[in-house]
Amino acid sequence: MRALPVIYLVLAAVSFGATFSLNKLAAEAGMPALAYAFWQSALSGLLLLAIAVARGHRVPREPAAIKVYVLVGALGLGLPAALLTFVAPHLPSGLVTLVLALSPPLTFLLAVAARLQAFRWLGLAGVTLGFGGILVLVAPNSGALPSPDALGWFALCLIAPCLFATANVSAALFQPPSADSVALAAGILLGAAAGVLPLAIVTGQIVWVPGTPGNAEIAMGLTVLIYALFTWLFLEIIRRAGPTFFAQFNYLAILAGLAWGWIVFLEPVRGAVWLALALMVTGIILLSVANSRPATAVPGKQADVIT
């Protein structure tokens, strides 16, 4: 069905965009960031594992597959979730959503460095616009940040797109095994939980005892469902339409995140944010166009990566 990847893409963007507001709800309710990241990954992974087993599919368990699960899961889901939850109380959730726009340009730079992607000037223009959007947000008197002290928190949350980009390039380098999408998604989510687990134990943030349903419990329950759905949708979109098509997820998810921030927290979207968004989205479009153009692949390497 030709329309199915489009439906999946919109659903993935709308659902994942909500996680930024849910992170803020959980953090403001006192949920430790690492406990939140571990349990949402573990529970969503176990949910998909149960579905896969019920459907007669197994999760590949060879060492190469486990390496992909832990590396891609931890860098692409677990650690960014913990980081973004940690900074969530200090920044508007819509503003934090904009970090998604840096994933494509950073992926492009890392992919070129790893010889997975041919260098293109159009891609470099997209990278420049993406970082230009960040400069607009942090400019003095832009009004995008709630206070001068928020600059440090915003700088900290920029580590998240670096993790996203590293996960993207790792997925291209280490090629996830061929398997049922539900089973593979379960492996990635459980790998994310395994990647966060040592940090959660060392910092004493592993324990979470659900209480009377409040904001933390509601946020946890919803993110478990969203992570399970999103990870499966991500794999299905890549399988059906390819990584270049999935790149459009980034700006759809940003718009969804801004909308959820307005709905849940009544966060105003200031002019500087719209300008930054316009620059970043234009940059993502240029990167998508650059990736869609045929180019000579680097010998022994994959020429197209997920951005």
pLDDT of residue 82: 93
Cβ-Cβ contacts under 8 Å for 178 (sequence gap 6 or more): none
Least Cα distance to 58 among 48, 73, 44, 68 occurs for 48
User: Which amino acid belongs to residue 165?
Assistant: A
Mean pLDDT within 132-137: 86
**pTM of the predicted model as reported, rounded to 2 decimal places:** 0.84
Per-domain residue ranges of the chain: 4-292
Residue reference for tokens 């832009």:
142
pLDDT digits (tens, 9 = 90+) for 166-216: 888 887 787 777 788 899 999 999 999 999 999 999 998 888 877 778 888
pLDDT digits (tens, 9 = 90+) for 46-93: 999 999 999 999 988 888 888 888 888 998 899 999 999 999 999 888
Rounded Cα distance, 96 and 88, in Å: 8
Mean pLDDT within 282-299: 62
pLDDT of residue 298: 31
pLDDT digits (tens, 9 = 90+) for 207-240: 887 777 888 899 999 999 999 999 999 888 888 8
Q: Band the pLDDT of 244: cuts 50, 70, 90.
A: low
Rounded Cα distance, 255 and 98, in Å: 9
